[in-house]
Structure 1
Amino acid sequence: MTDEGSDIRKRLESADCVPLALALAQMIGDPSPVEEIAPYVRGPWDYSESIPDSLKAAIRDRAAEAMQAHARGRPPALPRPDPATLRRMMSVAVGEEVGEDYVPMALEQMDLASGEARLVAPPASPAGGRLRALVIGAGVSGICAATQLQEMGVPFTLLEKNREIGGTWFENRYPGCAVDTPNHFYQFAFEPNDAWPEYFSHQDSILAYLRHCVEKYDLRRNLRLGVEVERAEWDAARRLWRATLRDEAGARTQLEAEILISAVGQLNRPSVPDLPGLKTFAGPAVHTACWPEAGLDLAGKRVALVGTGASAVQVGPAIAPEVAKLTVLQRSGAWVARRPNVDRKVSPDKMWALREVPFYAPWYRFQLFWGFADGLFDALRIDPDWDDGGRSISARNLKIREAMERHIRRELEGREDLLDRVIPTYPPFGKRVLADAGWYRMLRRENVELRAEGVERVERGALVLRDGSRVEADAIVFATGFHAGKMLWPMEIVGREGRSQRDIWGDDDPRAYLGLAAPEFPNFFMMYGPNTNLGHGGSAVFLAECQMRFIAGVLRAMVERDLDTVEIRRDVHDAYNEDIDARLKTLVWSHPAVTTWYKNAGGRIITNQPWRLVDYWRLTHDPDLREFVVEATEKAG
């Protein structure tokens, strides 16, 4: 082997063997590596295989030889596997049977055929300049929307209320803030990143990636920062939206556009409990989503952490070593599960493999897609014949519960007194499953106390609990979530009948077709709208790409057919919502043992979708304009 080959072979030691074997099969056009590893793969994670060391070495040897040949100009022998072969490869990759319906999505979205970056929805023809768009919000969804609009040739203005892009990744800067979706799945398909520093990277890395996308696709020339949309109203006579903007100084201006896209999502307005006496508290009281940019000095202080949700399990372990006392005030226990690689850094050689080995990165991404999303979906289905006293909803769900409980018991060995309080009474996935970044180890610390009595009121230097006891505190950290039900709030979006979304939805009953469109609101689209939250894992980036593909398809049709307006038909909208309500009743969030912010006051699930990712990908892939009421331009009419 040449020196170059030896170097390649050495670097391949850091490549996971399963995606490497799949990549090798495509490079050499021989399925034997796939079949050789098949008996040893039990799941999609790097620890869920038992491939013998001798076989791993042989695969790495052959991969190094194939890469040398590739470097000399030999093209891959199997750049695009046939559907049957691809499905077999996908099934081996994750250690279980993958359905035929995943093949088209894998070929496109996951780039398994070529590994080449591509935009989400390449335009069929230039859009020209007849349509203009306003995009509200410059987070993940807004950046996705703006990039696609630019690709289509649709003039747009990207509006952001903050002084910088990033959305949730700009606003959430609390200690320990990190993505809890594997990074190599939490990225745009058109802009894969092989340089993530960690498998679950922290806020600064995510924000840097989003800034990179804004700069690379030259979005800043159409970006306005520090302006908040107060109101947008449909002008029926002129067939356009007129938006009222307020800047940081309070000055108001108006912008007009034919297309309005809300990319503010569901989780953008922090919710702080209205505790009696809170205004009298002497120290800082901050929500995790409102952490001061200059930081918050908590060293040596007594801190009360209110909540045990997604941000709590990150900020708690991050601040516990520096504070004098951390009191965690819990309403109910959460499922905080072991996550592979949660605190590991990505090695330089692994980055090299993701960048240089043909087909390796897309196969690695597909494993994450399955392991963190659709591979879990069956565990959400309620078995009507299953009775476990509310602890689980099916045999599959129980198996996951038992695995999670084993993790908790291992982490809290010696502190069994905490088990009754931390192990949830509801089934897994009833609420968001959280990634354990040291939560249980934190609870074992001498300076950490867990209380579950509930807060009755706040005093100048303490929180008084419902049992009358006091928690002395110098600072309060609220990890208490968002106003998820008040979607689009506090914006006022007024449709063609003079009614706002708030008039129609009230405070907590939002509905939309595919979470994207609603009757009475022509040319208006919502990204991460009602019933689009992914309750079984998944990636918000994938969701944004699906939604923008749909919006782009509608806009293309408007240009090609000379249409001025499109508005989802009420019967289509209503039938869709009846369907998803029925489907949601079969899933874990509807179980009597589950109470969650996913539901509104009437018990209807308003945030989550009942679909696997592949289902939502299919539903949003090719919009059908027969489902819309359309108006042609005057010249076309």
Structure 2
Amino acid sequence: MSENSIDTLEIAVDDLFWQECYEPITENDEQLAQLVDQADLPALLAALAAATGNTKILAEELRPPLTPVDTKNHPHGGMSAEAVEKAKAVALSGLIALRDQQITATPRLDAEAAEDILGFLSNGHSEWNNMLKHELGLTPENSGAPTWCYEDVVPAGRTFKALIVGSGVAGIAAAHRFAQAGVPFEIIEASDRLGGTWQKNKYPGVRLDTPTFGYSYSFAQKADWPHQFAQGEEVRSYLQTVAEKAGLSQKIEYGAKLISATWDEAAGVWETAISKQGQETEVRHFNAVISASGQLDIPNVPEFPGQGKFTGIQMHSQEWDVNVDWRGKKVAVIGTGASAYQIVPAIYEEVAELVVFQRNAPWMLPAPTYHAEVSDTFAWLVRKVPCYAQWFRLWTTVLGIQGRFHTVRAEENWSQAPLSVSHKNHQVREELIGMLSKQFAGHPELLKHAIPSYPPGAKRMLRDNGVWAKALTAEHATLEVSPISEFTENGIVTADGTNHEVDIVIYATGFKPSDYLDGIEIVGREGTRIHDYWQGDARAHNGVTVPGFPNFFMVYGPNVGGVVAGSLHFMLERASEYALKAVHEVLKRDAKALDVTQAALDRFTAWVDAENRQMAWGQPYVRTWYQNRKGRVSQVWPFTNIEYWEATENVLADEYEFLN
């Protein structure tokens, strides 16, 4: 690609937040040098190469080595100090070129340039390229947008309509892809607004525990996020804006809950029962049903003796009552997982007393910027360097592909150190304990209880910027590790006889994630109910299709959740795209439906289970919400996003039966 080959895009970019022009650079050389000093160099170099049309600046010696992350991120992907200094000089020259050549428009990125830049960011992992092009969205190929149109493939005289259940992150992804293909659909939402878990969870401190730019759609690459880890309301606003830009807002039917779906073999349709705002149930028929009801949706509220006696306020974190004034009150928080980790630091300074009931301590990864806004430098780059946000998002994706898998993979017959699964896992454990020791200095009893009794990575790891320890070491805070014995009218009594008088009890006790489709009756072929088929062990091919349930697709189904690597949005988009590909196959063949074979599901499950058994969370002595009631890990995807890309690239004919 020549240094000056800058053309406008000749194709529509698959990005609802697409920006044609950027602010001109007016800063002098010294000011630009200061900005470069604060920039993330791999993302900036990629953006500059694309904007100037000069990929030669991406010299081999500047490639980020993608040094694996144990606990702390490596600046610039692990570039050496020498490479960093050279990269700064190259980046400064690139910014000067943008300024002097007055480049403010988005250039066309041809295939050759894309390969050059992706090879630079991925350190030569060409096998990642197709997936990365999907996430980048700036190339003509491999975008997630469908390449076919319903009107062009639907047989004459035939109609086909899908039902999408849910308007959270998964439902919006599915609806957007189906809308792009022109496939008729209805989308229903049981709540009164869209957003799924993000419209339900309104507790103090709610925010992402993954970096913001890793938590967005490839087709909706918002650039001006205010925080490095977005607050809950920011995510809700993003989803609302995505729905509006995609033309979905007016299509969502609120207050409509799916009660049941029954497969009509003769007609080849799903007969659904939908309850509308508590009124009489309506019967509707659809050719396909896409379940996008999510995993973390059913609150888990433990049962304790005497709960009904308590005269104070009780609420689960997902059912937070914004009208409750907790300030100046005695508050109990039950649980020390992800929601507790956000709630406790958010409220402890303003409550009269705080008692945190802990069963298991959480492992926490250092994240100094967990509550930080994006830097002024980052905001400047987003405004003035064409497509910098897209390249930064892609860089985040690259760093997340291999993630921290190396820290949680178990070594065979490992027994050299307790509560770890490998030499590397033990090293991580020791490093994290060292961090905790500093945070709880002077509080030896708290430190003892702050160290988890299971290997790092066996359960969800939280983000640590010191606020958890600061809250627990406050004078008016108590960490209670004795099990709860009973509730009284005025508080909670523990097994050791301690009576904690409290005004408010907050259940930060998580969800029932393995109870997929709980509360919905799905009846497939030969009258088989999906819960009877699963018997408490939810399984789906690619996390999407289930044998005996034709044209029934799950988005965010079993075994697609990532925990130490990858992007949830990618998994949800790919599941949606896979479902759409399946519909395409049905229409092309003029079949009524397709039904995945049991053999295909068995192969998929065996493959996933074998890998999960190699991980910290798959060890026989570990108990975690990743496992279902049968003890099988049914939540977690044990591979990278690359394997899911490959698994969902095609709907293979030999894995499905086509019904006519």
Would you call these one fold, judging by a TM-score over 0.5? yes
Amino acid at match of 2:331: V
Which residue of structure 2 lines up, in the alignment, with residue 62 of structure 1? 93
* More moved, 305-314 vs 80-89: 80-89
Distance 2:625 2:108 in 1: 51
Which residue of structure 2 lines up, in the alignment, with residue 627 of structure 1? 655
Amino acid at match of 2:638: P
Which residue of structure 1 lines up, in the alignment, with residue 313 of structure 2? 284
For residues 584 and 63 of structure 1, do their structure 2 counterparts lie closer, same or farther at Cα, with a shift above 3 Å needed? same
For residues 32 and 499 of structure 1, do their structure 2 counterparts lie closer, same or farther at Cα, with a shift above 3 Å needed? same
Q: Are residues 1:454 and 2:476 paired? A: no
Amino acid at match of 1:177: V
Which of the residues 29, 40, 46 maps onto 2:54? Answer: 29
Which of the residues 488, 512, 536 maps onto 2:540? Answer: 512
Distance 1:72 1:586 in 2: 50
Which residue of structure 2 lines up, in the alignment, with residue 534 of structure 1? 562
Amino acid at match of 2:632: R
For residues 72 and 351 of structure 1, do their structure 2 counterparts lie closer, same or farther at Cα, with a shift above 3 Å needed? closer
Which of the residues 575, 592, 612 maps onto 1:547? Answer: 575
Distance 1:73 1:306 in 2: 53
User: What are the residue-to-residue correspondences of 1:477-492 with 2, within 5 Å?
Assistant: 477-492=506-521
Amino acid at match of 1:105: M
Which residue of structure 2 lines up, in the alignment, with residue 563 of structure 1? 591
User: What are the residue-to-residue correspondences of 1:72-471 with 2, within 5 Å?
Assistant: 72=103, 79-81=110-112, 85-86=116-117, 88-92=119-123, 99-111=125-137, 114=138, 120-127=144-151, 130-292=159-321, 294-347=322-375, 349-358=377-386, 360-437=388-465, 438-471=467-500
| Deviation per residue, 1:14-63 (Å, 9 max, x gap) | 53223212333443535445445458985665476564786465234212
For residues 612 and 38 of structure 1, do their structure 2 counterparts lie closer, same or farther at Cα, with a shift above 3 Å needed? closer
CA contact (8 A) 2:131 2:142 kept: no
* More moved, 21-30 vs 428-437: 21-30
| Deviation per residue, 1:287-312 (Å, 9 max, x gap) | 001112x3421111111110011101
CA contact (8 A) 2:164 2:174 kept: yes
1:351 counterpart SS class: helix
For residues 175 and 295 of structure 1, do their structure 2 counterparts lie closer, same or farther at Cα, with a shift above 3 Å needed? farther
CA contact (8 A) 1:303 1:323 kept: yes
Distance 1:412 1:266 in 2: 34
CA contact (8 A) 2:25 2:99 kept: no
The alignment-based identity, stated in percent, is: 31
Distance 1:49 1:243 in 2: 56
2:659 counterpart SS class: strand
Which residue of structure 2 lines up, in the alignment, with residue 95 of structure 1? none
For residues 77 and 613 of structure 1, do their structure 2 counterparts lie closer, same or farther at Cα, with a shift above 3 Å needed? closer
For residues 36 and 75 of structure 1, do their structure 2 counterparts lie closer, same or farther at Cα, with a shift above 3 Å needed? farther
Amino acid at match of 1:602: K
| Number of corresponding residues | 622
Distance 1:75 1:361 in 2: 12
Which residue of structure 2 lines up, in the alignment, with residue 635 of structure 1? none
Distance 1:124 1:395 in 2: 50
Amino acid at match of 1:242: E
CA contact (8 A) 2:547 2:596 kept: yes
Amino acid at match of 1:198: H
Question: How far 1:554 sits from its partner (Å)?
Answer: 1.1
Question: How far 1:75 sits from its partner (Å)?
Answer: 8.5
2:150 counterpart SS class: coil
1:497 counterpart SS class: helix
Which of the residues 484, 493, 496 maps onto 2:522? Answer: 493
Distance 1:473 1:502 in 2: 40
Amino acid at match of 1:480: T
- Show structure 1 runs of 5+ residues with no match: 93-97, 633-637
For residues 343 and 79 of structure 1, do their structure 2 counterparts lie closer, same or farther at Cα, with a shift above 3 Å needed? farther
Which residue of structure 1 lines up, in the alignment, with residue 28 of structure 2? 6
Question: How far 1:374 sits from its partner (Å)?
Answer: 2.2
Question: How far 1:502 sits from its partner (Å)?
Answer: 1.4
Q: Are residues 1:17 and 2:41 paired? A: yes
CA contact (8 A) 1:70 1:76 kept: no
For residues 6 and 254 of structure 1, do their structure 2 counterparts lie closer, same or farther at Cα, with a shift above 3 Å needed? farther
TM-score (norm 1): 0.91
CA contact (8 A) 1:21 1:34 kept: no
1:305 counterpart SS class: strand
CA contact (8 A) 1:342 1:435 kept: yes
* More moved, 125-134 vs 271-280: 125-134
For residues 236 and 277 of structure 1, do their structure 2 counterparts lie closer, same or farther at Cα, with a shift above 3 Å needed? same
Question: How far 1:107 sits from its partner (Å)?
Answer: 2.4
| Deviation per residue, 1:474-526 (Å, 9 max, x gap) | 110001111112110011111121121111123x3111111111111010001
Which residue of structure 1 lines up, in the alignment, with residue 8 of structure 2? none
Distance 1:421 1:72 in 2: 57
Distance 2:234 2:384 in 1: 22
CA contact (8 A) 1:231 1:492 kept: yes
Question: How far 1:242 sits from its partner (Å)?
Answer: 1.5
Distance 2:109 2:81 in 1: 24
Question: How far 1:340 sits from its partner (Å)?
Answer: 4.7
* More moved, 539-548 vs 203-212: 539-548
| Deviation per residue, 1:66-113 (Å, 9 max, x gap) | 323664589969754478745641245xxxxx64421221123234xx
Question: How far 1:336 sits from its partner (Å)?
Answer: 1.6
Question: How far 1:118 sits from its partner (Å)?
Answer: 8.8
Distance 1:188 1:217 in 2: 12
CA contact (8 A) 1:86 1:103 kept: no
Distance 2:104 2:224 in 1: 26
TM-score (norm 2): 0.88
| Deviation per residue, 1:111-168 (Å, 9 max, x gap) | 4xx3799962323233557210111110000000111111111111111111000000
CA contact (8 A) 1:337 1:407 kept: no
Amino acid at match of 1:449: T
CA contact (8 A) 1:118 1:190 kept: no
1:311 counterpart SS class: helix
Question: How far 1:194 sits from its partner (Å)?
Answer: 0.4
- Show structure 2 runs of 5+ residues with no match: 1-23
